[in-house]
Amino acid sequence: MINIHVLSLFPEMFTGVFGTSILKKAQDKEAVSIEVTDFRAYSGNKHNQVDDYPYGGGAGMVLKAEPLFQAVEAITVSTTKPRIILMCPQGQRFTQAKAEELAQEKELIFLCGHYEGYDERVREYLVTDEISIGDFVLTGGELGAMTVIDSVVRLLPGVLGNGESPVQDSFSTGILEHPHYTRPAEFRGMKVPDVLLSGNHAKINLWRREQSLYRTWNRRADLLGNTELTPAEKELIVQWEKEKYN
């Protein structure tokens, strides 16, 4: 089991996300324990104030170091130092590889801030990771934390009904996932590719690989630089390039 803690000023934001669908099932199966804490409880003052004006002046308010340090120390259950993740637009871009890495941990703590930012001592002396879900700014770290947690939890053993699902996901293999089809075989004149109805699994696997490569080449060609290709697959890409410019 992995223990996940979230420190937020708005814990009610997580109720629907963590209480439904795969995340709820994962908790019911005891694959993960998720707790959300309002770190105002660790403010140390009667007004529960967790922010203050920045030294040197400037716009906005800054989250204080004390409440976050004290909250992390209070909720940590691991005998070793947990991964403490600061959700921040300045952080490392989140990827599937990072999700797979975090899924190996025993304890994760997510810090969700608001206002202008964090006291720099939180970055320097408390957190182990800074993560961003993209080059844009949100009103707080909650939505980003939900995204990362969902991505991590679905990788845990037994969480998804089909154990092969996370292995075949886009980015897990280094390239984008192939197209999927289901019944009916024909809908409004649109037909499922014949190969998928053939029952020939070798041909189906080859078709899926080629479709994954084509989709990656067409949409995210940058990913192919880190993908090991056979001579036949390299020739396919050369052929697609010729067709594109002819």
| Separation in Å, CA 79 to CA 22, 53, 142, 190 | 28, 36, 27, 57
Catalytic residue, candidates 40, 54, 89, 208? 89
| Separation in Å, CA 63 to CA 26, 35, 111, 118, 226 | 32, 21, 11, 5, 40
Annotated catalytic residue 89? yes
Annotated catalytic residue 154? yes
What 3-state DSSP class applies to 189? coil
| Cα gap 110→31, rounded to integer Å | 18
Catalytic residue, candidates 38, 116, 210, 233? 116
| Cα gap 45→29, rounded to integer Å | 39
| Sequence letter at residue 35 | E
Annotated catalytic residue 219? no
Say what angle helices 142-153 and 21-28 make with each other, to 10 degrees: 60
Catalytic residue, candidates 67, 142, 154, 166? 154
Catalytic residue, candidates 51, 129, 142, 169? 169
What 3-state DSSP class applies to 237? helix
CB 72 within 8 A of CB 47: no
Annotated catalytic residue 116? yes
CB 175 within 8 A of CB 214: no
Neighbouring C-beta atoms of residue 219, cutoff 10 Å: 11
CA-CA-CA-CA dihedral for 102, 168, 14, 51, to nearest 10 = 40
Which residue is listed with tokens 């223990």? 3
Give catalytic residues, as residue numbers: 89, 116, 154, 169
